[in-house]
Amino acid sequence: MITVMATDLKVAHRRKRPKLSQNKARAGTDLRKISPMTLALGAAMFLVGLSLAAAAPYRAIIATEVLGISNDQYALIVAVGAVVGAAVSLALGALSDVIKDRRWLVILCAAVGAFGYGLVSQVPVALVFAIAFGAIIPLGNAALSQILGYARSYYAATDPDAAAFMMSVLRSLISLAWVIVPPLAGWIAAQGSPLVTFDISAVAGVGVVLIFVALAFVPAAAAASNRSEGVPAPLRIAPERLWGLGGIALIRCALIMSATTTPLVLRMNYGASLADVGINASVAAAMEVPMMLGWAYAAKRWSSEGILALNAVIYAIYFGLIPFAGSSFGVLMLQPLNALATAALLSLTIAYAQEAIAGRVGTSTALIDTLTLVATWIGAALFAALARPDSYFSVIAALGVCSLLGGAMIWFKARPQA
């Protein structure tokens, strides 16, 4: 299947993609000539990744061990926050397509997120945690989709041939933050209280605010503002994208639940230590960064649908091999396969979703959060139905099936155009 897919990718490239001139093909992708705007956007993306990577690994520990929140209560807070986050992201995405300047929405979201993390750090009680993670921080998390929407709009106006490529580059900076930050934040937390990780997230949010306040006074940055007048583009998902978006939801289910289930497999099925779990995660994240750039270059030659479908198959193979790994070291040896697929499935889905609604890049970008919400619900249902106290192999198998089905749905959309 992989051989057939690779062959069809080449055919799709010859039939679908007009040949770019040499100058255009190089436009915006020469990493030796990075513009100040790209540096600013890259710094903002890294800070967003820093904020997430500092807090996420310790959020549940702070809730249950420091604040005394029960597992059921914590699950309810997370579920409410996910719904609020998806709704807020969609609303702000639609708003960003009609207001004059997207930059102020980024500033709003980043400031609210920094306030939420700082609030919990300074007032560490269960009620404040519930309010912050159920209502305040979800608005702050929308800064990610707002920055991506702003960046896509900016590059579409200044260098459209490089727009999709730059989305992958910017997304890779979040993975870079996940390589660097969790061990450092863990060491800092070990010196005192885990709550200090929320202070790190708050400071990162303030950094994003400062970057975009500065950009608000840079004339060249206004290229991403909405300059069109009259009636905005209709709010309609392209019919040919519906299957693909459904496939992305299934793939994101596999991605999200892998982060939860793989550590449990390592601990329960293979008796791994906490250090082994951290090493597996760090090794995969470190390899994802260069691989994301590699897949971004590949997407300039081949169709994104084909690349996504191919990597969905690779990801399913990775899941299929985990039960046969035999030990935590065996799972570690599978991480290059994991990183190869994850790099494409995390980065290229952003550009794919951003093209779902023509003329509405903000709303299209916000679809990623909605797909993530759907994926989380599907994954939670699978976990509840299949997880066993002594083994999680059945959940891993289900995630492989989700990846295969998602790839098939994306490929089904691509085949008629090949």
CB under 8 Å to 146, separation ≥6 — which residues?
Answer: 92, 93, 96, 102, 105, 106, 109, 362, 365
Contact predicate 414/12, CB 8 Å:
yes
Read off the pLDDT of residues 39-95 as tens digits, 9 standing for 90 and up.
Answer: 999 999 999 999 988 887 778 778 877 898 886 787 788 788 888 888 887 788 778
For residue 35, the tally of other CB atoms under 10 A from its CB is 12
Burial class from Cβ neighbours inside 10 Å (0-12, 13-18, 19+) for residue 128 reads: middle
Read off the pLDDT of residues 248-285 as tens digits, 9 standing for 90 and up.
Answer: 999 999 998 887 788 878 878 898 876 677 678 778 88
> Amino acid identity of 125?
V
Decide if pLDDT at 20 tops 50: no
Read off the pLDDT of residues 386-410 as tens digits, 9 standing for 90 and up.
Answer: 888 778 899 899 999 999 999 999 8
Q: What's the pLDDT score for residue 21?
A: 39
* Helices vs. strands in the chain: H and E counts, helices first: 17, 0
Q: Which residue has the higher pLDDT, 157 or 401?
A: 401
Decide if pLDDT at 14 tops 70: no
Look-up of token digits 């494409």: 344
What are the structural domains of the chain?
A: 36-227 (1.20.1250.20), 237-418 (1.20.1250.20)
pLDDT category, 418, cuts 50, 70, 90?
very low
Q: Which residue has the higher pLDDT, 322 or 177?
A: 322
What stretches of 195-323 show up as alpha helix (H) in DSSP?
196-215, 239-264, 274-298, 304-321
Contact predicate 213/107, CB 8 Å:
yes
Read off the pLDDT of residues 101-148 as tens digits, 9 standing for 90 and up.
Answer: 778 889 999 999 999 999 999 999 999 999 999 999 989 988 888 888
